[in-house]
Each structure stands twice: as structure tokens, then as C-alpha cells.
Amino acid sequence: MADLVSRLNDNNKNVRKWGTMAMLVADYGTPVPDKLWNDDGTPADFGAEFKMMGYVTTDGFKNSQSVDTSDTNMLQDIEPVRSDITSKTRTLQCVFGEMNAWVKALAHNIPVAQWPENKDGDWEYSDGEISDNPYYVIVLLGQDGIGDNAVYRVEIAYRSKVTDYGDRTSNRTDAEGEDRTFTCFRDPATGKSYYEATKAKKRDVGDGNRP
């Protein structure tokens, strides 16, 4: 029998680090493109209605899932005889590193349709009466590697809203940031709550795939 080393099924080309990422935000109900990928394997252009938010801090994006279960026990067993899922929650958290007009509009729970046209212009917002936070479509785009060896990621939260806020600190040493957590919900129009996919950059030669 062959030793374990010769039977390993590992591939270091599948180890991912996402040093280049972007978050896009649009109002819930904004159509997601039917074609999410270009023919060369790069992510499609989502259009002007999806606002690219700028810098996030080096912690990047944290995608968390939590599940609650309910166990059923019987007299004759000390271990549960079955377990049923009672709830499942997915959240997406990041700290925005730019204090631009779009980040601050999101921080003040303003629908994207009311955001200023210029991300990098002056801004002024006030908080007042609020009954709930608006729903958004969230898109994450990522790139690992460069050129013909690049690998791309697309993730979409079809219906989400801000459900938690982190502290905002202003001091001499730390960059100011807006810490937001989004909870993802199922979109009744599409039946989807979350999408993720990875594609490699297509080459112009050979079989069209990276080595």
C-alpha cells in the first residue's frame, strides 16, 4: 500500500488570502446583474447604483454564521436522540476606514438613493426619529494574486441591514473608523440569502485556465 504522502490530496494553489477587496452597497430591490462574471473570469461591473465604499481596515470582512439547536432526550439515553435546528443567522462585519460621504450616509442609516453623488465631497448628516434601518444589497469583490494567476471572489448578501454598531474613536494615533455589522436575510424575490463563488482569471492560451 502507498504511504500517506503519496495519497495526499492537497493543493497550495487553493490557499487563499484576500489582500484586495471592495464592498459595494445598493438599496434593496436594486437588480443584481444576471451575468456576475465576465468571459475572462473577472467579476462583472455591477453598475453605478452599487456604491463602492472605499477603504476598510486591515481586519477585512468577517463573515459569521450562528446556529441554534433544540435537543430531544429520552430516559434511556444520556445523549440526545436527535437535534433540530431552530434558527440560523449569518452576519457580515467590517470597519470602514474612509470617513467619506457614502460611509457616513450608511452610518446614519440613509437609503442609497439619498446618498450624495460625490463620495469624496463634503458631507453633513443629522440623526433624528428612526423606526428601523433600511435594507441593502451588499456585494463583496476580492482578488488573490495578479495578472494571469489572479483568482477572484464574488459574494452577495441579497437582503441585509445594519444590526450592530461598534465604537467610533477619535484620537491622535488611530485612524477613525465606522464599525458596522450587517445581518443577512432571505430575499423573497429570488429565494436567496447569500451567494459566493470563486473563478480564476482566464488565459488567452491553452485550455483557458490558469496552471
DSSP 8-state class, residue 140: E
Phi and psi based region of residue 97 (left: phi greater than 0; alpha: psi -120 to 50; beta: remaining): alpha
What pLDDT, in 10s, does the model give residues 9-21?
999 999 999 999 9
pLDDT at 204: 57
What pLDDT, in 10s, does the model give residues 154-174?
999 999 999 999 999 999 999
pTM for the structure as a whole: 0.90
- Round to whole Å and give the CA distance between 25 and 34: 17
**CATH, range 21-71+78-200:** 2.30.110
The amino acid occupying position 208 is: G
- Round to whole Å and give the CA distance between 160 and 114: 18
